[in-house]
Amino acid sequence: MSPSFYDPRERDPSLSRRPQNRQDDDWIRALLLRGRVARIATVWQAEDGAAWPFITPLAYVYRPEQNDLIYHTNVVGRLRANTAQAHPVTLEVSEIGDFLPSNSPLELTVQYRSVIVFGQAEILQGEDARAALTTLSERVFPGLKVGETTRPISDEDLRRTSVYRLSIQHWSGKENWAERAIQEDGWPALAEHWFGA
């Protein structure tokens, strides 16, 4: 396999290797809109070039009108430090179904729907942070209204949190929601109890 396959400068990393699982932009938007928890991958790079990747699970909201995602964390910590270095970031949202047995070790699988987002994150300030945190609060908790159900977001609140905007540059969506995994003909079939009720 050519090393360029792994080089994102040579091949768009948002392109799935399995075209039969690829989903279109509308499907991706729908999953991002109904999801509430994501995992974001960032990196810290030291002055000597050594790099440490880090994954943070967190609540998020997708804003299709701005083509971005917003989330927040503590005012200090790894995610804020990594984001401040302005490296590209990757975010993942998924839905997981049943684990699917097979009589072939290579065909054991799981039902999944997933979106991977590639982009650039920034730390929001002032009224941009307040508006984003309001949207995040109200969409993660449907029916909640900032300033009515909760008190308004104060300047002190904004000093105590980091609010982020991930500007989407590329994305990919994949789905494998088969009822059963592929079974091999050259080996005895699995008993029906493996497949549930």
Note the pTM of the prediction, 2 decimals: 0.87
pLDDT tens-digit series, residues 10-54? 776 666 666 677 889 999 999 999 999 999 999 999 999 999 999
Half-sphere exposure (Cβ direction) of 131: Cα atoms closer than 13 Å: 9
Write down the pLDDT at residue 54: 95
Closest among 78, 106, 110 to 94, alpha carbons compared: 110
Contacts for 99 with CB less than 8 Å, ≥ 6 apart: 108, 109, 110
Decide: helix, strand or coil at residue 51: strand
What's the mean per-residue pLDDT of the chain? 92
Q: Are the C-beta atoms of 113 and 177 separated by less than 8 Å? A: yes
Residue 44: both structure tokens together: 């810290």
Write down the pLDDT at residue 5: 64
pLDDT tens-digit series, residues 84-115? 999 999 999 999 999 999 999 999 999 999 99
pLDDT at 81 over 80: yes
pLDDT at 64 over 90: yes
Contacts for 36 with CB less than 8 Å, ≥ 6 apart: 59, 60, 140
Write down the pLDDT at residue 15: 65
